Amino acid sequence: MLNSSHLIGLLLLMLVQVNPALARSYDDVLASGFIEIAVYDQFPPYSFKNDQGKAIGIDVELAQHIARSMNLDLKLRWMTPDETLDDDLRNHVWKGHYLGGGIADVMMRVPYDKNYSYQTNEFGEVKNDLVHMFGPYQKERWRVGYDTQQLETLETLAVLRYYPVGVETDSLPDVYLMSVFNGQVRNKVKHFIDLRLAWNALQNNEIAAIMGMQSQLQWLKHHHPVQKKPFELSAVALPGLHKLDWDIGMAVHTNYRQLAYALGDIVEQASKEGLVKQISARYGADYLLPELYKAQ
């Protein structure tokens, strides 16, 4: 038989299931006096907390600008990544986590990619039909950075067959380097749960290079001005990598396009007039303008 604790747990689960998190309309957001924006936790240089516990990062500062532009208070929703981006969109944009906690008004650092937006499942249904992706504010790309004391130059990726290279576990660079050149680099790939740990390993001569996102690698160098090792980013070709760069934007529940239009206008102006570039520079990152604005 079920005891009282089992019954309470069952009732709580039922309440979560029958009371799904509700997204808010543009008017609801304005009337509330605040906007809740979801950013990834401990993800420098985009969104993280400094040693004093202050929220900082490119996405955080842009979120603050959005709130100011709308005369609203900002409530940050710190996200822990789930297994896939689809899971993150479900948990924070249109449904909410099964344990509860609600959803955000908008989620940042979402690919602005038509193919991804209309990706279908095995039944031919659009996976993220309850999500509207919009408002590109940055272009990101994959790069390899290296220690110039160990590697005089990095003109071909094949050199990494002989030098250890660090990647974040289960990231695209992880998958890529484990398979490129028919697996010839595989034995030199070293895994880290965070690129900051890879940076420490490079400083201690445990690895000679790191593959990651350009802004992350530039921030690592910028954030550690007093360093043992000279660190440079290579323009080396990445053979077989399908997508070298991609635009980053935001996402809202598909029912609330009016909110997306308002946010999109703010972000477009911030991108085209140089504000996002200024924010990026504070974290040592070169700003790359999204393709949408280059065509205008």
CATH number of 4-139+247-294: 3.40.190.10
| Residue ranges in the chain whose pLDDT is less than 70 | 1-21, 226
What Rg, from alpha-carbon coordinates, does the chain have?
21
- In the chain, ranges of CATH 3.40.190.10 domains: 4-139+247-294, 141-234
- At 272 the pLDDT is 96
Mean of the per-residue pLDDT values of the chain: 92
CB atoms near residue 82 (< 10 Å) = 14
**From CA 239, how far away is CA 144, in angstroms rounded?**
13
**From CA 200, how far away is CA 291, in angstroms rounded?**
34
CB atoms near residue 155 (< 10 Å) = 12
Residue 194 · residue 122 · CB < 8 Å: no
141-234 homologous superfamily: Periplasmic binding protein-like II (3.40.190.10)
**Could you read off the pLDDT of 124-162 as tens digits, one per residue?**
999 999 999 999 999 999 999 999 999 999 999 999 999
**Could you read off the pLDDT of 252-284 as tens digits, one per residue?**
999 999 999 999 999 999 999 999 999 999 999
pTM above the 0.85 mark?
yes
CA 79 to mean position of chain CA atoms: 10
